[in-house]
Structure 1
Amino acid sequence: MNAGIWILLVLLAVAGVIGRRLHRYPGGWKYAFAPEHDAARRDLGTARDTLRDLKRSAQKELAGARASAEAAATAHRRRVREAEEHLAYLREPGRGGFRAEIDGLSLYEHVLAVNTDDWRGDLPLHDISVRSDHSPTAGHVYLVAPNGRQHLLTYPVADIGEEYVRRFVVDVHNAVSDAKAFQQERASLIRQAGADLRRIRSDTGERAEAELRLGEVTARQGNDIRIPRARQDLDAAQDRWHALTGHRPH
Structure 2
Amino acid sequence: MNAAQLVVVVVVGLGLWVLWRRHRYPGGWAFAFSLKYESDRDALANARHKARVVSRRAAEAESAAQAELTSTQAAYERRLRQLEQQIARLRNPGTGERLDSLGELALFQHVLVVTSGPATRSIELAGLDARFDTGKTNHSIYLTDVTGRVHRAKYPHLLPAMDDHQRFDEEAVRDFTVAIQNAIADENSFRVRIPHQLSEAEDELEKARADTHAQEAARKELARVRQRNRQDPQRKVADSELEEALQNWKTLTGHLPPK
- Partner Cα separation in structure 1 for residue 168 and residue 21 of structure 2: 85
Structure 1 pair 37–174 and aligned structure 2 pair: CA distance change class (3 A): same
Deviations 1:137-182 (A, max 9, x none): 6432221221222221112345154254344323212211110111
- Partner Cα separation in structure 2 for residue 221 and residue 160 of structure 1: 80
Aligned-pair Cα RMSD in Å: 2.4
Partner of 1:156: 156
- Partner Cα separation in structure 2 for residue 140 and residue 10 of structure 1: 87
Give percent identity, aligned residues only: 32
SS, match of residue 112 in structure 2: strand
SS, match of residue 27 in structure 2: coil
Deviation of 1:203 after TM superposition, in Å, equals 2.4
Partner of 2:238: 230
Partner of 2:116: 116
- Partner Cα separation in structure 2 for residue 239 and residue 151 of structure 1: 93
- Partner Cα separation in structure 1 for residue 216 and residue 77 of structure 2: 13
Partner of 1:13: 13
Q: Which consecutive unaligned segments of at least 5 residues does structure 2 have?
A: 158-164
Partner of 1:239: 247
Deviation of 1:118 after TM superposition, in Å, equals 8.7
Partner of 2:206: 198
- Partner Cα separation in structure 2 for residue 27 and residue 118 of structure 1: 87
Equivalent pairs counted in the alignment come to: 250
Deviation of 1:242 after TM superposition, in Å, equals 2.0
Mapped contact 1:123–1:146 kept (Cα < 8 A) = no
- Partner Cα separation in structure 2 for residue 47 and residue 178 of structure 1: 74
- Partner Cα separation in structure 2 for residue 188 and residue 225 of structure 1: 59
Say whether residues 1:187 and 2:195 are aligned partners.
yes
Deviation of 1:130 after TM superposition, in Å, equals 1.2
Partner of 1:73: 73
Mapped contact 2:105–2:153 kept (Cα < 8 A) = no
Partner of 2:177: 169
SS, match of residue 127 in structure 1: coil
Deviations 1:180-208 (A, max 9, x none): 11122222212221222222222222222
